[in-house]
């Protein structure tokens, strides 16, 4: 399940509550959700509708955060799988924005984002060459969970950028995704090293790299930049 699925579930919860007389509000077409952890999403839907958040949380099997947001938790493997199944993950109508081309060092956030995309593409190519297929992601390393958290925030920040007509929220989000991906790439390798045999861990990390590639590629396209597989 992706953030879009969480949003749909929250809308359905409001609709059901209205139909059963628990709430008396106009049912929104969609609701904003933000990633606050690996597979953990929060939405201000109840605050914006002016209703008891417990009514909505109960219907989605969620909880209410200290600030009155409805919290929904999704298994990390379901989130990564959802991104892989959604080629248009996070896509919104975002104004152009971005970074300069130079310098091509990590001092330039734009380079970090572009290089992260290229690195994720490289993992896919090499995985095919050495026969490592994508598998279920079940990782739990801090770096991996950090990347899952960042990936989950892409749709919400893209929607915010569209709503505010400012690419800034998405640009900053892409920088966070890129930084998290570099950490994973360097510390949680998707491909076997030395005499190491490929296993389920590698297959899951190949899936995580592909999810990062999709998110970064869509993000770059949204701000008007063509993603490059090589830099």
Summarize pLDDT for 30-61 with one digit per residue, the tens: 898 999 999 999 999 999 999 999 999 999 99
CATH 1.10.730.10 fits 78-222, yes or no: yes
Summarize pLDDT for 77-110 with one digit per residue, the tens: 999 999 999 989 999 999 998 888 899 888 899 9
- Domain chopping of the chain, boundaries: 3-74, 78-222
Strands in 63-64's sheet, in edge-to-edge order, are: 34-37, 40-43, 70-73, 63-64
Summarize pLDDT for 114-169 with one digit per residue, the tens: 999 999 999 999 998 888 889 999 888 999 999 999 999 999 999 999 999 999 99
Is this model's pTM higher than 0.85 or not? yes
Residue among 153, 224, 147, 164 at smallest CA distance from 6: 153
């Amino acid at each position: 399940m992706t953030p879009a699925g969480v949003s749909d579930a929250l809308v359905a919860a409001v609709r059901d509550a209205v139909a059963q007389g628990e709430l008396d509000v106009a049912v929104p077409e969609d609701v904003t959700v933000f990633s606050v952890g690996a597979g953990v999403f929060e939405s201000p839907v109840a605050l914006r509708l002016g209703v008891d958040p417990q009514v909505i949380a109960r219907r989605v099997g969620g909880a209410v955060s200290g600030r009155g947001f409805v919290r929904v938790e999704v298994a990390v493997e379901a989130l990564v799988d959802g991104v892989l199944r959604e080629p248009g993950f996070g896509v919104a109508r975002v104004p152009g924005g971005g970074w300069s081309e130079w310098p091509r060092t990590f001092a330039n956030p734009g380079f970090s984002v572009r290089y992260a995309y290229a690195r994720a593409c490289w993992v896919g190519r090499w995985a095919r060459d050495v026969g490592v297929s994508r598998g279920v992601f079940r990782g739990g390393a801090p770096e991996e969970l950090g990347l899952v958290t960042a990936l989950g925030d892409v749709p919400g920040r893209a929607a915010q950028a569209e709503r505010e007509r400012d690419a800034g929220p998405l640009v900053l989000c892409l920088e966070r995704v890129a930084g998290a991906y570099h950490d994973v790439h360097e510390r949680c390798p998707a491909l076997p090293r030395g005499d190491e045999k490929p296993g389920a861990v590698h297959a899951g990390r190949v899936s995580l790299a592909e999810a990062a590639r999709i998110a970064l590629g869509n993000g770059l396209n949204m701000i008007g930049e063509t993603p490059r597989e090589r830099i």
